[in-house]
């Protein structure tokens, strides 16, 4: 009897069998993705791709002025090999210099055409004032934008955004963390571009719980948030670190 029940379950489960999102209803046409770091340990990306439809993935690259995620290169290269739309993020230390942290990220991440725009992860104040946080975050965002020619994506949780960042960086794409079945609504009315709706996802090929995300658009819309080098003649100058 148990074997019969198991067989019936396999027949009715969707193709995305390993993707457990806590019952969230994802609208037709929306894209789903994950974000990972060394906390997820070594990931079997071939299994992830074979058993789930992962349209994009963000990978931790750097933190502060000198830390490089121990699994960044492995994850970054695997995503390119498998053709998953990838993006790299930097974990911001509020007590650090925004310019130095931007240089650290730029020197670490080898961007390729079609990669998602760089991400700045800002979620801890570490005793710094709102004014200092906004100043150093602004320096990081401008430095990376001037080097690569694309506006970086700003990641934060909804509470931190409202307290420290609201209204200050409205020109940058926004990635909001809010662990709920209810979509984020920001006091400024700004629309988010990515929503991290869970930090406890279960995905085949990833042994640890993982963050789950939604992009509320089509692949062609996601393409607008991707980096491409400038014209061949200006490429080296535009990509040079200031």
CATH number (domain holding residue 191): 3.20.20.80
Going by C-beta distance under 8 Å and a sequence separation of 6 or more, which residues neighbour residue 173? 117, 151, 152, 153, 154, 193, 194, 225
Whether 65 is in a domain gets the answer yes
Give CA separation, 217 vs 17, 35, 51, in Å.
Answer: 22, 18, 22
- Per-residue buried b or exposed e for 45-58, using 16+ beta carbons within 10 Å of the residue's own CB: beebbebbebbbbb
Classify residue 138: in a domain, yes or no.
yes
Range of the domain at 92: 31-228
pLDDT at 211: 97
Q: Is residue 233 part of a domain?
A: no
Instruction: Output the pLDDT for position 1.
Output: 42
Mean pLDDT by 10 residues, the chain (242 residues): 35 40 68 97 97 96 98 98 98 97 98 98 97 98 97 98 97 97 93 96 96 96 95 47 48
> Is residue 100 in some structural domain?
yes
Give the per-residue pLDDT at 20: 59
Q: Which pLDDT value is given to residue 13?
A: 31
Residue 139 lies in a domain: yes
**Residue 1 falls within a domain, yes or no?**
no
The pLDDT of residue 18 is 46
156 in a structural domain: yes
Known catalytic residue at 80: no
In-domain check, residue 86: yes
Number of domains the chain contains = 1
Spot the catalytic one: 80, 123, 145, 162: 123
pLDDT at 3: 39
| 8 Å CB contact between 210 and 59 | no
Sign of CA dihedral 81, 140, 103, 124: negative
Q: Note the pLDDT of residue 21.
A: 56
* pLDDT for the residue numbered 68: 98
Confidence at residue 22, expressed as pLDDT on a 0 to 100 scale = 53
């Amino acid at each position: 009897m148990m074997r019969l029940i198991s067989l019936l379950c396999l027949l009715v489960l969707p193709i995305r069998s390993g993707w457990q999102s806590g019952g969230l209803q994802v609208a037709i046409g929306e894209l789903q993705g994950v974000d990972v770091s060394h906390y997820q340990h070594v990931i079997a990306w071939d299994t992830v791709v074979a058993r789930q439809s992962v349209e994009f993935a963000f990978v931790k690259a750097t933190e502060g002025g000198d830390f490089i995620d121990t699994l960044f290169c492995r994850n970054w290269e695997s995503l390119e090999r498998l053709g998953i739309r990838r993006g790299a993020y930097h974990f911001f230390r509020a007590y650090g210099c925004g310019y130095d942290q931007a240089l650290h990220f730029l020197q670490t991440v080898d961007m390729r055409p079609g990669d998602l725009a760089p991400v700045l992860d800002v979620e801890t104040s570490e005793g710094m004032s709102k004014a200092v946080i906004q100043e150093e975050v602004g320096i990081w965002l401008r430095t990376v934008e001037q080097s690569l020619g694309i506006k970086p994506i700003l990641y934060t949780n909804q509470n931190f955004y409202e307290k420290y960042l609201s209204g200050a960086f409205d020109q940058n794409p926004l990635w909001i963390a809010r662990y709920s079945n209810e979509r984020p609504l920001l006091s400024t009315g700004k629309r988010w571009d990515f929503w991290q709706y869970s930090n406890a996802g279960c995905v085949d090929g990833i042994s640890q719980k993982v963050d789950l995300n939604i992009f509320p658009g089509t692949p062609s819309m996601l393409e607008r948030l991707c980096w491409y080098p400038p014209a061949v003649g200006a490429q080296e100058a535009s990509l040079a670190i200031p």
